[in-house]
A = this chain, B = another copy of it.
Amino acid sequence: MLTLLSAFLCAESRVVMLSPGEVVSGEFSLVDSVPYYEMRRGRVPVVRPGRMGFLLADGSRLDCGFVIDSVESGTIDERWSPVLGQYDTIRNHCRFYRIALRQPASRRTMTVEFRLYDEGLAFRYIFDNPWNGTTHFRIAEERTEFAMSGAHKAFWLPGNFDSNEYYYTTSRLSDIDATAVDGSGIGTHRVLDPDMVQTPLMMKTRGGLYVSLFEAALDDYSAMHLLLDRQRLSFRVVLSPSPVPGVRAFMQTPCRTPWRTLMVSDRAEDILASSMILNLNDPCRLTDTRWIKPIKYVGVWWEMHIPGGSAWSYADVPSVKIGQTDWTALKPHGRHGATTANVLRYIDFAADNGLDAVLVEGWNVGWEEWSGNWKENVFDFVTPYPDFDIDSVTSYARSRGVELIMHHETSGSATNYERRMTEAFDLMERYGYKSLKTGYVGWPIPRGETHDGQWMVNHYNRVVREAAERHIMVNAHEPVRPTGLSRTYPNLLACEAARGNEFNAWSKGNPPEHETILPFTRLLGGGMDYTPGIFEIKMSHYQEGNPCQVHTTLAKQLALYVTMYSPIQMAADLPENYLRRMDAFQFIRDVECDWTDTRILEAEPGDYITVARRGKRSGDWFIGAITDERGRKARIDLSFLDPGCFYVATVYADAPDADWKDNPMAYEIRQYIVDRRTKFRQRLAPGGGCAISLRRATLDDLSRIKDKL
């Protein structure tokens, strides 16, 4: 359905917009030729009138002097199935409004496209026409404002174009102070502005509305940060800069910006359940996706993070140079993790426990001084260390039915990676690697670029596209925050792009609330390789007196496999730690990471989340419930279960005396027979959680299991 609205509206310079269910409304207006928009939920203002448009690097303005040429509107109502995801089918249902603007003085045109969902509003800028005689223009500043309706509670990260690995601070908007954040452990920490924060930004109004401010479909543009005007409680967009002074994005028509998105609901659960970010991305561009599969894996990784653990590097030498250093002549320091023998151990563990794959970090030469030096030619991505026999490792893995995950740490040197990527992918093909973890620790090269800038955004997306052509699945660490690109390129399984579990091993770590915020922020854009599953919680296990620890109970580590969506999930701890607790490890064996259905049972950002998901492979359900530093009782209602069926619920719960700080590893496992009428409250310890698997009961189960919930 497509309607050309009447000239009446145009003359009024005002366009009123409504979502399909008329829950969300918006208004676009020209006030003295300046474009503004606002947004309401019902009658409640969500965003007060805020400016739109751009300042260009040539000094001209694209934020005023407009008339409306035409307005198109219509409805989108379609269903699509993600290759991997949280639902087997996703409905994309919204009304769109395309408002064609013209600057009579400059003869320039710009279209603003709005989409209104019942759970939010999104808009983007479109430049489809040749541009005032030239097709190239440079954006000095995007003037888009987000004028919030009050001093909402916000869960924010400090603005930094080169890292999103911060813990969240919860404060009123008026109390934001990015300088107060502790950036220790972040190599590219830099406080840019006390008033600048990152997206996705989760907020809660005093009136109880949940509001998420984010972007979707970021490609060939710089990522958006937000600068607060504390008086007006209004954010304006700050695009990540380029190395060219005064230029934040290089544009060539036809082109469009990413979507600026505002999600809103009076139920926190609706934010988590929404697929709005994915819906705003383009449909899948890959014709064949049969090679894209969920992955559960272990790897040579956590052992590099624990105190006194092993090393990525092979030798203690002051200088190594790719193509010059003779690695076989180096004296090994003896702490190298990615040795053949050690990797075979992980392969055996994976094979013995039904895991799909093994990640090996530190397999390739260059780690001796890889980070923090602005070094460009850090890695070649093809030369194994002398003690990693790639031939025997890959053939052993194949014999045991386990995949290997390739690892390409770039240390941020994207130019070096781009030069060597074809050869690196060739090696993967030769040895049968089907998935790839990339890494971008450190300041980017091209020097002067930022992790979140247009050039690097294009780089990450280029890697995903070239990997797709080679049938390689990608799990990117330290890239820009994902914005739903996995709809278009489902081989982008997941990203890190946030503070992962490893910070718990060697820094002040992730506070217990951390995992209750991430699904409301970072995960809106796509799966996160958070690397859960740490069973040996306290680092004093490895080094007496070491104060570091994972800030959860063991049971909460299990729950994360459900609450933290990712189609690639690691069992991150050491095999020996799992072997001592195989009863608890059974949940990791059973849990899936690709789903036909997802139910957000309850959620409050910063406090708790309880989620149930149905596995695509088995049809079994899995539940994760987590809480922050406060113990509580999760409400679990199993009415989503198939009618007329009994299920065995295996409950992996915190022991009664469990506590994230004082007794994190105390858990208990019970089995119950349940059906869709079952409702119960499950105790979660402070910093605790609970994982539940639900499989169809057999007659034998019914006779064996007597406990009731």
Residues of B within 8 A of A375 (CB): 136, 250, 252
For window 355-378 of A, CB contacts with B under 8 Å fall at: 369, 373-376
Q: How far is the CA of A138 from the CA of B131 in the complex (A)?
A: 42
Q: Given A254-B319, A375-B252: A243 and B447 within 8 A (CB)?
A: yes
Chain B residues with CB under 8 Å of A134's CB are 318, 369, 373
Query: What are the interface flags for A446-480 relative to B under an 8 Å C-beta threshold, 1 for contact and 0 otherwise?
Result: 11110000010010000000000000000000000
Is A418 close to B, CB under 8 A? yes
- The answer to whether A243 and B321 touch (CB under 8 A), given A136-B375, A369-B135, A375-B136, is no
Tell me if A136 and B374 are in contact (CB < 8 A).
yes
Q: Which residues of B contact A254 (CB under 8 A)?
A: 319
- A531 to nearest B CB, angstroms? 30
Q: Which residues of B contact A318 (CB under 8 A)?
A: 130-131, 133-135, 253
> Which residues 315-367 in A have Cβ within 8 Å of B in the complex?
318-319, 321
Minimum Cβ distance to chain B for residue A133 (Å): 8
The answer to the question of A70 belonging to the interface, with a C-beta cut-off of 8 Å to chain B, is: no
A 614-625 to B, binary, CB cutoff 8 A, 1 in contact else 0 = 000000000000
Number of interface residues of A (CB under 8 A): 33
A42 to B247, CA, bound (A): 55
Given A446-B415, A446-B449, answer yes or no on A252-B422 (Cβ-Cβ < 8 Å). Answer: no
In Å, the complex CA distance between A376 and B247 comes to 15
Q: Which residues of B contact A242 (CB under 8 A)?
A: 447-448
Contacts of A373 in B (CB 8 A): 134, 136, 252
Q: Does A1 contact B (CB under 8 A)?
A: no
User: Which residue of A130, A133, A415 has the most chain B CB atoms within 10 A of its CB atom?
Assistant: A415
User: Which residue of chain B lies nearest to A448 when distances are taken between CB atoms in the complex?
Assistant: B243
Instruction: Name which residue of chain B comes closest to A132, CB basis.
Output: B318
Q: Are A446 and B243 in contact (CB under 8 A)?
A: yes
Is residue A419 within 8 Å, beta carbon to beta carbon, of the partner chain? yes
Question: How distant is A516 from chain B, measured CB to nearest CB, in Å?
Answer: 39
**B136→A369 contact, CB < 8 A:** yes
Assembly CA distance A244 to B376 (angstroms): 14
Say yes or no: A252-B446 contact (C-beta < 8 A), given A135-B369, A136-B373, A369-B136. no
Query: What residues of B have a CB within 8 angstroms of the CB of A252 in the complex?
Result: 319, 321, 373, 375
- In the complex, which residues of chain B have a beta carbon less than 8 angstroms from the beta carbon of A130? 318-319
The B-contacting residues of A in range 96-136, CB under 8 angstroms, are 130-131, 133-136
- Select from chain B the residue with minimum beta-carbon distance to A136: B373
Give the CA-CA distance A138 to B253 in the complex, in Å: 40
Residues of B within 8 A of A253 (CB): 318-319
A452 to chain B minimum Cβ distance, whole angstroms, is 15
A135 cross-chain contacts in B, Cβ below 8 A: 318-319, 369
- Name the distance in Å between A438's Cβ and chain B's nearest Cβ: 17
Q: Identify which of B133, B138, B419 contacts A374 (C-beta below 8 A).
A: B138
When distances are taken between beta carbons in the complex, the residues of chain B under 8 Å from A138 are 374
Residues of B within 8 A of A374 (CB): 136, 138, 244, 247, 250
Chain A window 529-557, contacts with chain B (Cβ cutoff 8 Å), 1 for yes, 0 for no: 00000000000000000000000000000
Chain B residues with Cβ under 8 A from A321's Cβ? 252
Whether B244 lies near A448 (C-beta < 8 A) is yes
Complex alpha-carbon distance, A81 and B446, angstroms: 39
* Chain B residues, CB < 8 A from A448: 242-244, 446-449
Q: Which parts of A397-448 form the interface with B (CB within 8 Å)? A: 415, 418-419, 422, 446-448
Kindly state the separation between the CA atoms of A458 and B447 in the bound complex, as whole angstroms.
Answer: 14
- A418 and B375 CA atoms in complex are apart in Å by 18
Minimum CB–CB distance from A80 to chain B (whole Å) comes to 24
Closest residue of B by beta carbon distance from A129: B318
Q: Which residues of B contact A136 (CB under 8 A)?
A: 369, 373-375
CB-CB under 8 A from A319, the residues of chain B are 130, 135, 252-254
Considering only CB atoms, which chain B residue lies closest to A250 in the complex?
B374
- CB proximity of A688 to chain B, nearest CB, Å: 44
Please name 29 pairs of A and B residues whose Cβ atoms are closer than 8 Å in the assembled complex, sorted by A.
A130-B318, A131-B318, A133-B318, A134-B318, A134-B369, A134-B373, A135-B318, A136-B374, A242-B447, A243-B243, A243-B447, A244-B447, A244-B448, A247-B374, A247-B447, A250-B374, A250-B376, A252-B321, A253-B318, A253-B319, A254-B319, A376-B455, A418-B419, A422-B422, A446-B447, A446-B448, A446-B449, A447-B448, A448-B449
By Cβ-Cβ distance, the 7 closest A-B pairs, closest first, are A243-B448, A446-B446, A135-B319, A130-B318, A136-B373, A448-B448, A243-B243
18 additional A-B pairs beyond A133-B318, A247-B374, A446-B446, beta carbons within 8 Å, are A130-B318, A130-B319, A135-B318, A135-B319, A242-B447, A242-B448, A243-B448, A244-B447, A250-B376, A252-B375, A376-B455, A376-B458, A415-B415, A415-B418, A415-B446, A419-B419, A446-B448, A447-B455
